[in-house]
């Protein structure tokens, strides 16, 4: 086949391989939210204590993002993603044997967070390497649906397993699937088109076909990647915005099944299936936000992100006021919350890192932004549990509203900022 046909084949192969692989990271991460009521019920563990387990994952994930983002720019996605998902799967299995030992749960789930952080930054780096600037906003939106569909699949699978076999099996079965997918990526993945003799992203952008020589994706050094991250005000703004947004996102992701179980009186398997509406609607929000950014706002992502975040704050405020048992209204609101959460989120962790960094520092910028996001997630893990235990569910929702408003205001300051163009963009 000629160069264009070969490039088309490899782009399709790489994109869908990375999509499936990252979706499966969530099978051994979001399974915890469905298992929470069973764990707390069997061992009498408080929400604050289980919030500490969630916070352990988020804290180590944040640390892992800061570290692994830099490593991904140097070593590439093929190695890091394979190691990350396989070790994460092993740790998920291990968690099923902790038997109510709180310290053990914190250690195992914290380690899981670090290896989970080997997934996203290398994935964004791969998209930046394989696709030229004009295609990245669209591909960012499509890639973002991976973890929304992955979340929904995890809730569905874990909900079914918990109802059939008990909460422990929600940590065993998804892990087996994740290991298989990790091996698949190790075989199918490639870090960059030049590794198979295809033109680089810059050559594609300029309409050149390259020299056909197989080369490594060269690293420009940690000085370059650190400077690109730490001295960029736009990157800092997005990072702090994601810190605020993840307070809401993980508030709902980790506690929605428990809220529906305790307050709306749904069976836990039913609650898990109802909670699936959040990421499923979120996948539509992702595609919508990407489309509006490309068309109406000419590749500026901050305008649509800030608008959707203000609506997120509004619907978070109203949601706990829905009467018990009113499932239709509850599901509509959960769908809107998912739609307005994930649309901005994907732009902030996928498209904007590529806009404000470069493909040579895409993983580093993504890791920095997502690292700050998971500091927010760590705060909401234990913070939400504490608020529910001591003040009730309403105060947890008020906490999430503040997060949404903070994110909206920060993104508003970037309204006029479009993609930065340079040598490696």
Give the global pTM. 0.83
CATH number of domain containing 133: 1.20.1250.20
Asked if pLDDT for residue 270 goes beyond 80, the answer is no
pLDDT of the residue at 47: 85
pLDDT of the residue at 151: 86
Task: Look at the alpha carbons of 181, 29, 16, 368 in this order and tell me if their dihedral is positive or negative.
Answer: negative
Residue 422 lies in a domain: no
Between CA 238 and CA 244 the distance in angstroms is 10
Between CA 334 and CA 21 the distance in angstroms is 26
Residue 245 lies in a domain: yes
Between CA 235 and CA 239 the distance in angstroms is 6
Does residue 6 or residue 328 have the better pLDDT? 6
- How many domains does the chain divide into? 1
Residue 188 lies in a domain: yes
Asked if pLDDT for residue 267 goes beyond 90, the answer is no
Between CA 114 and CA 87 the distance in angstroms is 10
Q: What is the mean pLDDT of the chain?
A: 89
pLDDT of the residue at 255: 81
**186-232 tens-digit pLDDT:** 999 999 998 988 888 778 777 676 555 555 666 667 787 788 788 88
Which range scores top for mean pLDDT: 175-189, 374-388, 407-421?
175-189
Task: Provide the domain limits for residue 271.
Answer: 3-412
Question: Do residues 62 and 242 touch, judged by C-beta distance below 8 A?
Answer: no
Asked if pLDDT for residue 340 goes beyond 90, the answer is yes
Task: Look at the alpha carbons of 51, 53, 59, 62 in this order and tell me if their dihedral is positive or negative.
Answer: negative
Residue 162 lies in a domain: yes
pLDDT of the residue at 217: 61
Residue 235 lies in a domain: yes
pLDDT of the residue at 102: 95
Q: With bands split at pLDDT 50, 70 and 90, how would you rate the model's confidence at 422? A: low
pLDDT of the residue at 53: 92
**40-72 tens-digit pLDDT:** 999 999 988 998 898 899 889 999 998 998 898
Q: Which of 41-50, 151-160, 253-262, 295-304 has the lowest mean pLDDT?
A: 253-262
Which range scores top for mean pLDDT: 162-166, 208-212, 379-383?
162-166
- Terminal alpha carbon distance of the chain: 28
pLDDT of the residue at 269: 63
Tracing tokens 């962790």 back to the chain, one arrives at: 349
CA atoms within 13 A on the CB side of 192: 27
pLDDT of the residue at 105: 96
Which element (helix H / strand E) includes 230? helix 222-230
Q: How many C-beta neighbours within 10 Å does residue 202 have? A: 15
| Tokens coding 8 | 């088309």
Residue 421 lies in a domain: no
Residue 88 lies in a domain: yes
Question: Do residues 116 and 25 touch, judged by C-beta distance below 8 A?
Answer: yes
Does residue 81 or residue 224 have the better pLDDT? 81
**304-326 tens-digit pLDDT:** 999 999 999 999 999 999 888 77
Between CA 87 and CA 418 the distance in angstroms is 38
Residue 389 lies in a domain: yes
**347-374 tens-digit pLDDT:** 999 889 988 877 778 888 999 999 999 8
Q: With bands split at pLDDT 50, 70 and 90, how would you rate the model's confidence at 287? A: very high
pLDDT of the residue at 212: 56
Burial (CB < 10 A; 0-12, 13-18, 19+), residue 1, is exposed
**5-36 tens-digit pLDDT:** 999 999 999 999 999 999 999 999 999 988 99
């Amino acid at each position: 086949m000629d160069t264009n046909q070969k490039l088309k084949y490899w782009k399709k192969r790489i994109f869908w391989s990375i999509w499936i692989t990252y979706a499966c990271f969530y099978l051994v991460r979001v399974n915890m939210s469905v298992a929470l009521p069973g764990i707390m019920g069997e061992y009498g563990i408080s929400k604050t204590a289980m919030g500490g387990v969630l916070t352990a994952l988020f804290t180590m994930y944040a640390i892992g993002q800061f570290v692994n983002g830099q490593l991904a720019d140097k070593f590439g996605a093929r190695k890091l993603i394979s190691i990350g998902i396989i070790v994460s799967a092993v740790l998920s299995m291990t968690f099923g044997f902790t038997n109510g030992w709180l310290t053990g749960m914190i250690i195992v789930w914290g380690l899981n967070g670090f290896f989970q952080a080997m997934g996203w930054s290398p994935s964004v780096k791969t998209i930046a390497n394989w696709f030229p600037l004009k295609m990245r906003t669209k591909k960012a939106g499509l890639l973002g649906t991976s973890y929304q569909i992955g979340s929904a699949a995890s809730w569905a699978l874990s909900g079914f397993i918990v109802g059939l076999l008990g909460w422990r099996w929600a940590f065993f079965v998804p892990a087996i699937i994740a290991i298989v997918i990790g091996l698949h990526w190790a075989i199918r993945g490639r870090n960059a088109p030049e590794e198979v003799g295809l033109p680089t992203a810059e050559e594609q952008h300029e309409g050149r076909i390259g020299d056909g020589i197989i080369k490594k994706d060269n690293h420009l050094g940690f000085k370059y990647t650190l400077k690109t991250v730490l001295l960029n005000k736009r990157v800092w703004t997005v990072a702090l915005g994601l810190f605020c947004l993840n307070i809401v996102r993980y508030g709902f992701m980790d506690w929605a099944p428990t809220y529906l179980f305790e307050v709306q009186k749904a069976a836990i398997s039913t609650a898990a299936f109802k909670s699936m509406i959040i990421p499923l609607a979120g996948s539509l929000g992702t595609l919508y936000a990407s489309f509006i950014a490309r068309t109406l706002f000419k590749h500026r992502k901050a305008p649509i992100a800030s608008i959707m975040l203000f609506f997120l704050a509004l619907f978070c405020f109203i949601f706990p006021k829905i009467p018990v048992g009113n499932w239709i209204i509850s599901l509509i609101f959960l769908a809107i919350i998912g739609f307005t959460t994930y649309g901005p989120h994907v732009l902030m962790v996928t498209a904007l890192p590529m806009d404000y960094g470069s493909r040579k520092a895409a993983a580093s910028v993504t890791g920095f932004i997502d690292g700050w996001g998971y500091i927010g997630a760590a705060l909401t893990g234990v913070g939400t549990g504490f608020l529910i235990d001591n003040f009730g569910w309403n105060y947890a929702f008020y906490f999430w509203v503040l997060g949404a408003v903070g994110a909206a205001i920060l993104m508003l300051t970037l309204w006029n900022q479009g993609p930065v163009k340079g040598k490696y963009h």
